[in-house]
Structure 1
Amino acid sequence: MRVKSKILSTTLIISCVLVSRHRTLMNIFDKAPVVDKDAFVAPGASVIGDVLVGRGSSIWYGCVLRGDVNSISVGSGTNIQDNSLVHVAKSNLSGKVLPTIIGDNVTIGHSAVVHGCTVEDEAFVGMGATLLDGVVVEKHAMVAAGALVKQNTRIPTGEVWGGNPARFLRKLTDEEIAFIAQSATNYSNLAQVHAAENAKPFDEIEFEKVLRKKFANKDEEYDSMLGVVRELPPELILPSNVLPDEHKAK
């Protein structure tokens, strides 16, 4: 009886694991995501159905890109930051079919909602912004953090829009336009670091834990007495454009 009970418990645990398993890339209907081999999709993100992710783009932790009733296209070098939601519309009140199209070198900030709209190359969508059906954010335009952009709004090149509902605030400066491009490059480089860390095998991760513990506490006087020489662990080498300013000067 105990053996039967144990088998039933084990079967139930396995079933629960299978049912609750998270799939980062998931087919829906007859559609499957297509992700470039040089793109980074973080563990915990969900890329579902008819979704295309281009070279060097990054989909960060907690993001959902759900291409079930229409398609989502993400260009090259674009970053969609943590907890953002990208979805589509099969149709809206105007009867339009609305995929979501995100261009090249776009930055979409944390927790943004992008729904059935178009964000052109090198545009910037701030943290927590919401873009509703039919919105077009033109190249080199910026949506401010927390903005709500109403349906079918077009944000012209070189303008900043913000508020609820979003309205024109001012023109972008040349420095801000340059920042948009730099932001995309920074995230592309940072994604490479995260991809490398996530690709490490279990034994390497465990070995690094031991190293961190070994180098955590240093007492030079005690080490000298014992004749111990501690080597410094190697530093993480980041691309120069994601290093803090104090390291750039060195």
Structure 2
Amino acid sequence: MQSHCTDYLGASLHYQTGGKADAPVLVLLHGGFGSIDDFAALLPRLQEHFRLIAIDTRGHGRSTLGQAPLSYAQIADDTRHILNTLGITRFALFGFSDGGTAAYRIGAADPGVEKIITVGAHWHYDNLRDLHAMFGQITVDFVRENMPQQAAAYEAQNPEADLNQLTGRLQAMWLDNSTSAYPNETISRIGAPVLAIRGEDDFLLSLPDLAALKKHLPEAHLMNIPFASHEAIREEPDMLWAAIMAFYR
């Protein structure tokens, strides 16, 4: 994978390209407090089958935060900027957690989206009501204690690392109920095939919330991965890979 940066709205956005040049384009969007490394368990296999565009969300990995508010709409806008820079108009999306929420937003608005894969991704604000109190109590100390690898990687990689500021920006994004936030009912505008996945022990995305996608996307494929939590990509990559290959048959 080759690294690149592009300046946009006050941030230096880092992304990587690689894989097969003549294969379908697949854009990788990671989760909160994560980075491109969220896909490490699948990356070698993905490189064999896709032309990959892996993006560090602004403020994460090697991307700086800039002054624009961190929101799902901004992640989507940053993604479009990078794709426009590369001249890419047709692509699929693979989003984990926050990256999956942004993928839903992009899919609902962009006719160039060919397929969408999400893992542990919320799509409606109302589904998070039971989590709002937890989100509001997340502090830097909480992140260091419960996500030590992500915190250490962020502080080692990010050129303007400020874990306190990133935590506050992510809290605001998770609790946002504006038009810049979760796609909510607009998810029904997605015309591309969708594969939505959760680990059976995912405490962030419940099974009923996953199943509720069928009301708005009746053709969506839903998968509940046994023996996995929110980190299903890392914990059960073989099961996930089998589903991706079936989705692309």
- TM-score when scaled to structure 1? 0.22
Instruction: Report the TM-score when normalising by structure 2.
Output: 0.22
Mark the structure with the bigger radius of gyration: 1
Higher relative helix content? 2
Greater relative CO (CA pairs within 8 A, separation 6+) = 2
